[in-house]
Amino acid sequence: MKFLPRLKSPSDLARMSEAELTELSAEIRSFLVDKVSKSGGHLGSNLGIVELTIAIHRVFQSPHDVVIFDTGHQSYVHKILTGRADGFEKLRQRGGISGYPSRAESEHDVVENSHASTSLSWADGVARAFSVQGITDRTVVAVVGDGALTGGMAWEALNNIAASQNLRLVIVVNDNERSYSPTIGGVATYLSTLRATKGYEKFLDWGKGVLERTPVVGQPIYETLHGMKKGLKDIVAPQGMFEDLGLKYLGPIDGHDISALEKALIQAKKFEGPVLVHAITEKGRGHAPAINDEAEKFHAVGVVDPETGEPLAKAGKTWTQEFSDALVELGGQRKDIVALTAAMLGPTGLDKFQENYPERTFDVGIAEQHATTSAAGMAFAGLHPVVAVYSTFLNRAFDQLLLDVALHKAGVTFVLDRAGVTGDDGPSHHGIWDLALTGIVPTLRVAAPRDGARLRELLGEAVSVKDAPTLLRFPKGALSPELPAFERREGIDVLYRGESPDILVVAVGAMAQLAVDAAAQAYREGVGVTVIDPRWVRPLPVSALARMAERYSRIVVIEDGVRSGGIASSLGDSFRDQNISTPIHSIGVPLVFIEHSKRNQILGDLGITAQSVARQLVSWFSGSITQEVTRLQVDESADRKPLR
């Protein structure tokens, strides 16, 4: 590589010629394919945004000018241009750079949250702050793309941005027609029209030339047509919608033509008010496997062969695939089951349901709030919606879950993929909040399957509930080995039983195998542990657990969510309400934001491994023995006190 190794700062771009920039673009694409193929990550979107990112950094002076990325996974090129190419050796790994913008990495990164449709609100806030403080030499650039304009929050921001003509704010729409897969909805159709329609100014220029050569009536007709500019704009080039909002519109522009992009961005910068620059890019550009991937254009990949794009490691069946197959089977049995997702048909496994039941599958774009309330409406009208999203993304629709679904006792089933610690994608993608959040939602029932068989069983039970919402959660990756129960008591599966009833372990979902392994290790240290799986963890079967607790010195709950407000916390509250004094210990995630790293590394840090848990069990049991001996000694001492 000729230019990339010398690139240490965005200012280095200013000295490069157009031919050199073209060569640099090719080097960056080659670099991305090489590095991301080894680490996994978001490849397609970054291959498509190379020239656009270069143009932004040539026209604007980051960090003086503030560049904010929506759906932060499209920031890899930005990271390279801001001097972090060396960090890609360990992309999304411990000690390496994050797959999303990170303030800890660079002053050029502003917004760390990778959730879509937020950048315009951030940009509005920063630009308003500059305006209030009288700062007139700094421009805010919001890079919006990968379907972010399908989110309602983006349009709330646009409405407010357009009302303030003094904001030095440039909105760059990276229009690659896709989010994870082809973008859905009215906004997507609108942008497609823009892509396919020539500008109205060219039409008017042509009309002026023709009509001005027409004797007598030509000039009056042209003036009339020019007075109808608004109407022609709507018919010939519907960028009028943006301008109706009060936004100056530039485009559409070839997103791979650096010169054309720079001209538009310079014009936008000089305007000194809100401007929208519409760039057309090709997701996956320059990489044949991405181009040939019609569904998702290599949106995100694991470790793959850089030439073919094929996975290098053969993975077993995943939780997502098991859910996908189970839902298709239920869809064949129940005509009232419909499926909804937010721009994630493939990642959540609903693509297979769509193949079989296209008329019963709805992709609403990046709009989790809308999906949730729409599902409530479908339930009211006699359907049973299954809403499938990543755990972290349900956070965005909490109000709708609480007041549109639960309050109305709507028969909606939510399926949360990637629950618990997920690893590589960092703090915004860990699914560690759902157990705590759902604990304050009345009428909601939550199931946590421990393996594929239980996933199918619990999904069937969930969709059979008609008068209340249900939720099913499972982790990222390969299915846990099947773990049969040797007994089911009052709906609770007993998975392991030590010879002596010392400690009762409540394992939540995929934590079950770890709990059994830890119990076996503790048994070798002389501690009798019984492991149970309640299957349904909200509400907990408190009465049944209370009866079990009578035989044990203490209870330990192992969960892959935050401890604060989690399952152990709920069980403790219930026991206190019933004056049950059995001590309860929690093994889970502390209330912190967890950086990117491999899942097993994070669990090791948190002490959520079989060996660490076994040590804790032995320690707690030894503590209970010590406490009991101390109590007996105190009692004996009291008995020997002289009478007065």
Give catalytic residue positions. 283, 368, 396
- Residue 337 near residue 463 (C-beta atoms within 8 A): yes
Report the candidate in 53, 72, 63 with the shortest Cα–Cα distance to residue 13. Answer: 53
d(CA 196, CA 75): 28
Q: What are phi and psi of 429, to 5 degrees?
A: -110, -10
Is the distance from CB of 433 to CB of 561 less than 8 angstroms? yes
Residue 590, judged by CB atoms within 10 A of its CB (0-12, 13-18, 19+), counts as exposed
Q: Concatenated DSSP letters for 335-387? A: TTEEEEESS-HHHHTHHHHHHH-GGGEEE--S-HHHHHHHHHHHHHTT-EEEE
Tokens standing for residue 597: 């790293």
Burial class (CB in 10 A: 0-12, 13-18, 19+), 11: exposed
Spatial separation of the C-alpha atoms in residues 10 and 21, rounded to whole Å? 12
Task: For the sheet with 413-417, list strands across it.
Answer: 361-363, 337-341, 384-390, 413-417, 470-473, 445-447, 536-538
* C-alpha–C-alpha distance, residues 636 and 539, integer Å: 43
Single-letter amino acid, residue 351: D
Measure the CA–CA gap between 112 and 115, rounded to whole angstroms: 9
The CA distance from 37 to 404, in Å, is 42
Among candidates 491, 489, 533, which has minimal Cα distance to 512? 533
Structure tokens belonging to residue 148 = 């972010």
* β-bridge pairing 492-497 and 529-533: antiparallel
Q: How far is CA 362 from CA 59, 231, 383, 532, in A?
A: 40, 34, 13, 37
What is the DSSP code string of 69-127?
A: ESSGGGGHHHHHHTT-GGGGGGTTSTTS--SS--TTT-TT-------TT-HHHHHHHHH
Give me 485's structure tokens.
Answer: 């129960």
> 592: helix, coil or strand?
coil
Residue 530 is given by DSSP the state E
What is the C-alpha to C-alpha distance for residues 480 and 453, in angstroms, rounded to an integer?
Answer: 10
Residues 6 or more apart whose Cβ sits within 8 Å of residue 215: none
Query: Do 184 and 154 form a contact (C-beta atoms < 8 A)?
Result: no
